[in-house]
Amino acid sequence: MKKILAVCWLIFVILACFSKKETPVTNITVQELIALFGLQPHPEGGYYKETYRAKGTIAKNALPDVFQGDRNYSTAIYYLLPEGTKSQLHRLSSDEVFHFYLGDPLTVVEITPAGKIKKTILGQDVKAGQSLQYIVRAGNWFGAYPNQGSRFSLIGATVAPGFDFQDFELGNRLDLLKQFPHAKEVIELLGH
């Protein structure tokens, strides 16, 4: 009897191992993600869809001078960076919070106003030091690229005060090279 139970248990374990399915989401393609979330090309590169815009607004006169109008309290987007694409260097007037959702790791590169270069890997491998969440401070130049071998990275990006293209500046490669000559490699890779 014990032998029969042991054999049944063994068969059960073997079947369980072989029937272990990958979660369907690991098979999703870039085109499926674009269609599923209604993503649009972003001027900096990659694809995005705004998912949230707070109804409330903050009056211009209550905001710092960098904001040239009223702004919603906060906004959020999905942002997709497929293999072979990049987010070109740009800067915002608000801090931007990134959340890693799906896919493979990407590297966020920043140049601070003082010229410090920072690289941060967003991804799920938290044991290897990858970040699930990362904040880029307002005023830092930043861009991103999928890591070697990454098929795509799908992240979220939240800003407060809310996003407005008036507060978005794409970096000009030549201007950035003049200001940050030591960051030539980064600027040539991600400059506009």
At position 125, the amino acid (one-letter code) is D
- How many residues make contact with ligand GUN (CB under 6 A)? 9
Show the beta-strand stretches assigned E in the chain: 40-41, 47-53, 57-58, 71-72, 75-82, 87-92, 95-103, 106-111, 117-122, 133-136, 141-146, 152-160, 168-170
Whether the ω angle into residue 161 lies within 30 degrees of 0, i.e. cis, is yes
Residue 141 binds ligand GUN, judged by CB under 6 A: no
Q: Which is nearer to ligand GUN, 104 or 167 (CB)?
A: 167
Q: Tell me which of 30, 33, 39, 77 binds ligand GUN, using CB under 6 A.
A: 77
136 binds ligand GUN (CB under 6 A): no
> Helix, strand, or coil here: 26?
helix
Please choose, out of 31-39, 140-148, 156-164, 181-189, the segment that lies near ligand GUN by the rule CB under 6 A: 156-164
Contacting residues for 160 by C-beta, under 8 A, at least 6 apart? 73, 74, 75, 94, 95
Nearer CB in complex with ligand GUN: 78/152: 78
Q: Position 136: which residue type?
A: V
Q: Phi then psi for 60, rounded to 5 degrees?
A: -50, -40
Phi, psi of 44 (to 5 degrees): -85, -5
Asked if 48 interacts with ligand GUN (CB under 6 A), we say yes
Note whether 154 and 102 are within 8 A (CB).
yes
Which residue, 42 or 71, is less far from ligand GUN as judged by CB? Answer: 42
Q: How far is the CB of 12 from ligand GUN (least distance, A)?
A: 48
Among 136, 154, 155, 159, binds ligand GUN (CB under 6 A): 159
Residue 96 or 104: the one with the smaller Cβ distance to ligand GUN is 96
Q: Which stretch binds ligand GUN (CB under 6 A): 26-34, 65-73, 137-145, 157-165?
A: 157-165
Of the candidate residues 74, 75, 107, 120, the single one contacting ligand GUN (CB under 6 A): 75
Encoded amino acid at 132, one letter: L
Judged by CB under 6 A, the residue of 47, 98, 100, 163 near ligand GUN is 163
Return residues touching ligand GUN (CB under 6 A). Answer: 42, 48, 50, 75, 77, 96, 157, 159, 163
